[in-house]
Amino acid sequence: MPDPSFDTPRALGVDDFATCRRQTYSTVLTCGESHRGVDVSPTREAGPWRPG
């Protein structure tokens, strides 16, 4: 099956979450309108966002 197509989000939300309790954290980008996940970064390091 082909990947579903997504429109470019007009608003983004950024949040971090623990993948292992109090040990490993990741960052997630979400669409501000549909509240769906857009991308996940394996770390929560500060700096410019570079989608993977």
Confidence (pLDDT) at 52? 56
**Residue type (1 letter), 50:** R
pTM above 0.75, yes or no: no
Biggest distance spanned by C-alpha atoms of the chain = 37
Is position 37 within any domain? yes
pLDDT band at 38 (very low <50, low <70, confident <90, very high): confident
pLDDT band at 41 (very low <50, low <70, confident <90, very high): confident
Query: Residue 37's domain spans which residues?
Result: 12-41
CB 15 within 8 Å of CB 30: yes
Give the mean model confidence (pLDDT) for residues 13-41. Answer: 86
Looking at the DSSP bridge assignments, the partners of residue 28 are 15, 40
Is position 26 within any domain? yes
What is the rounded distance in angstroms from the CA atom of residue 22 to the CA atom of residue 12? 25
Is position 28 within any domain? yes
Q: Is the pLDDT of residue 48 over 70?
A: no
Total tally of structural domains belonging to the chain: 1
Average pLDDT over the chain reads: 81
Is position 51 within any domain? no
Closest CA to 40 of 52, 48, 24, 32: 52
Is position 48 within any domain? no
CB 26 within 8 Å of CB 16: yes
